[in-house]
């Protein structure tokens, strides 16, 4: 990394938790200046606009989350155990970037016409869905899941249950909603297991 | 209602969708002035601060949502059918106030230190949980649900699955995630039915 790239990356890493916690409108350029210790000009040397920083920060937050939440999952042989481990990882590991799940936060925040950011969130959910569907399809091939398991239904169910649970857990500052979500997903997964 | 109360109520009803869509930081006093056609002074005659408008708007949004989502549900005899109707109502009826579910929107928005608003969201989820638990407990007494059904687990599962689903449905502008959530909740409810 050149010195310039390092500065740019530093801005992204400092801005990511600000945007994740406060949303696009709630995070001002002054907040980013304060967090980075840079002048406005120093930041605008690397980014054309606050929008561009928010987009780079979101990408960084998503990458960090994926890294954190797939660690230790890849080595598991059984697809159904892989999926359970992915869920457990989500339930027991806090978000890589402080402020809760960046996908949900940005989805809620960006429905106010911020179309580029909204597009990035959509892509992130699509990619997550793809990773879950891939595991489910391996599970069907391996004979763990029934042949007619509706993988889209299951993938959406996993994502929305976990996202809703992280919201409620954060609001109530207790882990129960996440643990309850995990138990509910076990029931749903059991319903498509080959017995 | 006096003329003053009418004006106050008008401000609340105009501000509610703005806060619900844009969040606290994203909705400015100018936005509220524009939506109501009132001068700043005219608004501050009824509210001490933007915070106070946001709180009144949130209360109004929650009341409207409850009204909308319980219509037609109260007349059902069977507790399990009541619960399924509550879920169906959530899945098929858009939010009373434009911008998605005010509970989730405000939960995500208010974790940036807005403690009064956060307290109101917590109360709203607690009240919703209470309504679901009451139906579940009637279902246990009626012999529809198994005696050891974990009503807290079930109530949290219903809430987080629906909330996550409304977020993803809005993001992807399609109904699938909500329909999928309903199907998943059917599976979970079936697991505690007396067979």
* CATH number of residue B59's parent domain: 1.10.357.10
| Tens place of pLDDT per residue across chain B (195 aa) | 899 999 999 999 999 999 999 999 889 999 999 999 999 999 999 999 999 999 999 999 999 999 998 888 888 999 999 999 999 999 999 889 999 999 999 999 987 778 999 999 999 999 999 999 999 999 999 999 999 999 999 999 999 999 999 999 999 999 999 999 999 999 999 999 998
- B62, part of any domain: yes
- B42, part of any domain: yes
Weakly modelled stretches of chain A, pLDDT under 50: none
Question: Which of A167, A178, A181, A182 best probes binding to B when mutated, by most B CB atoms within 10 angstroms?
Answer: A167
* A21–B23 C-beta distance less than 8 A: no
The span from the CA of A84 to the CA of A101, in Å, is 19
Confidence (pLDDT) at A195: 84
- Tokens 């929305």 appear where? A160
Confidence (pLDDT) at B111: 78
- B195, part of any domain: no
* B108–A157 C-beta distance less than 8 A: no
Question: How close does chain B come to A73, measured CA to CA in Å?
Answer: 24
Which run of H or of E encompasses B5? helix B3-26
Confidence (pLDDT) at A147: 97
Q: How far is CA A46 from CA A12, A38, A56, B83, in A?
A: 10, 11, 11, 53
- B180, part of any domain: yes
* B168–A156 C-beta distance less than 8 A: yes
Q: Which residues of B touch A24 (CB under 8 A)?
A: 26
Domain count, chain B: 1
- B136, part of any domain: yes
Confidence (pLDDT) at B70: 85
Q: Who contacts A190 (Cβ-Cβ below 8 Å, separation ≥6)? A: none
Q: Which residues of B touch A (CB under 8 A)?
A: 21-26, 99-100, 104-105, 107-109, 111-112, 118, 121-122, 125, 152-153, 156-157, 159-165, 167-168, 170-172, 176-177, 180-181, 183-184, 187-188, 191
- B11, part of any domain: yes
Closest CA to B121 of A64, A101, A171: A171
- A112, part of any domain: yes
Asked if the ipTM is above 0.90, the reply is yes
Q: What is the residue-wise DSSP string for B40-82?
A: HHHHHTT-SSHHHHHHHHHHHHHHHHHHHHHTTTTT--SHHHH
Q: How far is CA A139 from CA A133, A134, A142, A193, in A?
A: 10, 9, 5, 9
Tokens for B81?
Answer: 């059918």
Closest CA to B76 of B135, B131, B149: B135
* Chain B CA closest to residue A23: B109
Q: Please give the residue range of the domain that contains residue B97.
A: 3-190
- A64, part of any domain: yes
Q: Which residues of A touch B (CB under 8 A)?
A: 21-26, 99-100, 104-105, 107-109, 111-112, 118, 121-122, 125, 152-153, 156-157, 159-165, 167-168, 170-172, 176-177, 180-181, 183-184, 187-188, 191
């Amino acid at each position: 990394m050149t010195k310039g790239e390092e500065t740019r990356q530093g801005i992204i890493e400092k801005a990511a938790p600000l945007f994740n916690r406060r949303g696009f409108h709630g995070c001002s350029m002054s907040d980013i200046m304060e967090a980075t210790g840079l002048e406005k000009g120093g930041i605008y040397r690397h980014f054309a606009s606050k929008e561009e920083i928010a987009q780079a920060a979101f990408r960084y937050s998503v990458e960090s989350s994926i890294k954190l939440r797939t660690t230790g999952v890849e080595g598991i042989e059984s697809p159904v155990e892989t999926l359970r481990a992915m869920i457990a990882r989500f339930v027991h590991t806090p978000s890589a970037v402080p402020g809760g799940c960046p996908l949900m936060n940005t989805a809620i925040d960006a429905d106010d016409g911020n179309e580029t950011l909204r597009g990035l969130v959509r892509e992130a959910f699509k990619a997550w869905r793809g990773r879950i569907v891939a595991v489910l399809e391996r599970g069907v091939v391996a004979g763990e899941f029934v042949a007619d398991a509706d993988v889209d239904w299951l993938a959406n169910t996993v994502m929305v249950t976990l996202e809703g649970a992280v919201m409620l857990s954060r609001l109530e500052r207790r882990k129960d909603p996440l643990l309850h979500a995990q138990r509910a997903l076990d029931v749903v997964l059991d319903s498509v297991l080959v017995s």
